[in-house]
Amino acid sequence: MERSRNVLPDSIMKHLYEAAEAFGLETDEDTIARLGACWLEKKDAFDNLIIEKGMDDVGSFSSTDNRGALMLTYSGSLVSVGPLTDDGRIIEYTSIGFRGDVPPSLSRNSCSLSSDGEVDKPLTFQNGPLKQTSRIFRIAVCPESLSAADQSRLLGQTSAFIAESFAGINQDAIKNS
C-alpha cells in the first residue's frame, strides 16, 4: 500500500477507494494496494506503448480534432476515439474488468463526442450505449502526419495490445487475491 500511496496522485488514490466501494469490493488496505498496483501497471503499459507508437501525450482533445486518440481513465479503463470522418468517429471502450456496472467492452461506429476531452474530466458522448467515462487521466493523440486509415490501424493495434495487457494485469490481480 505504501508504494501505491507514494507513487499515485492523491486524486487516483481517492478514486480507487470510491471505485472499490462502487464495485462492491472491500476498502481495506490490501484491496486498495492491489487496485493501486494494477493501476500503476496499466499506466506503465499505456505510457510505454504510446511512446513506442509515436503518439503525443496531451492535456486536452478537441471534439473537432481530426486525429484519433487513446485515453486512460482514472478507473484504469481504455477509450479509443477514432479519427473524425464524415460518418463520425469509431469509439471503443474497454473496462477495467472489475466493474459490474458496465460491459467489459463497447464499440460504436458513427459516434460523436459531446464535448472536448480533458484530463481530470469525464469524456461524454452524444450517442451510443456509453454516455460518459470516469475522469480522464491521460490522453494520447495520433501523429498528424498519419492518414485517417493509418490512424485507425494504429489505434486498433495499440488498443488491442493494451487491452490484452490490461486483461493479463487483471488476471494476475485476481490470482493473487
pLDDT exceeds cutoff 60 at 2: no
Q: What is the pTM of this model?
A: 0.83
Task: Tell me which of 66-80, 93-107, 129-143 is least confident.
Answer: 93-107
- For 16, the domain range is 1-177
Structural domain count of the chain: 1
Per-residue pLDDT at 11: 84
Please, what is the average pLDDT of the chain? 85
- Return contacts of 96-99, CB within 8 angstroms, 24+ apart: 96/38, 96/42, 96/166, 96/170, 97/166, 97/167, 97/170, 98/19, 98/23, 98/25, 98/35, 98/170, 99/22, 99/23, 99/75
